[in-house]
Amino acid sequence: MKPFMQKGGCAVKRIFYGIVLIIVILGIHHDLTGGTFAEEKGTSTPPAPLAVHVKEDQGEDEPSLPYQEVIIEPGQTVLSVVEHLHGRQVDRPIESIIADFRELNEQMEPNALQVGHRYRFPLYDGEPE
């Protein structure tokens, strides 16, 4: 009886591994064709910015930079919003963009953005600083 049980155990293992392999292949296929990875490739478009607020005569409370207010949606970062506003990569160091964002938003940390909240993002003329 023992040899029969050992053969049966091997067959069950093979069936189990075959099922696991099929599930893994189907999961990879789903991710690559219409699942999570397809969504990350840019199928969703960022929201249109709200309004441009460029101040000519600025008081002491007003920031010295031109800015645009944007309501944050899931997946957006400071850098992605700034690049979207300019329609291209901005020719400024990331540290400079972050410093300008903090100045416009009362020293708020860029990694603390909250979905649905409105923030000011710097606008640049195209000249690197």
Q: What is the pLDDT along the chain (129 residues), one digit of tens a residue?
A: 455 555 556 888 899 999 999 999 988 888 777 755 544 555 455 555 544 444 444 455 666 789 999 999 998 999 999 999 888 888 899 999 999 999 999 888 888 889 999 999 999 875 544
| Shared-domain flag, residues 21 and 72 | no
SS (H, E, C) the chain: CHHHHHHHHHHHHHHHHHHHHHHHHHHHHHHHHCCHHHHHHHHCCCCCCCEEECCCCCCCCCCCCCEEEEECCCCCCHHHHHHHHHCCCCCCCHHHHHHHHHHHCCCCCHHHCCCCCEEEEECCCCCCC
pTM: 0.52
Could you tell me if residue 72 is inside a domain?
A: yes
Q: What pLDDT sits at residue 90?
A: 86
| Shared-domain flag, residues 57 and 104 | yes
Q: What pLDDT sits at residue 31?
A: 77
- Structural domain range at position 30: 2-43
Q: What pLDDT sits at residue 61?
A: 62
Could you tell me if residue 11 is inside a domain?
A: yes
Q: What pLDDT sits at residue 38?
A: 46
Number of domain units in the chain: 2
| Shared-domain flag, residues 37 and 67 | no
Q: What pLDDT sits at residue 56?
A: 46
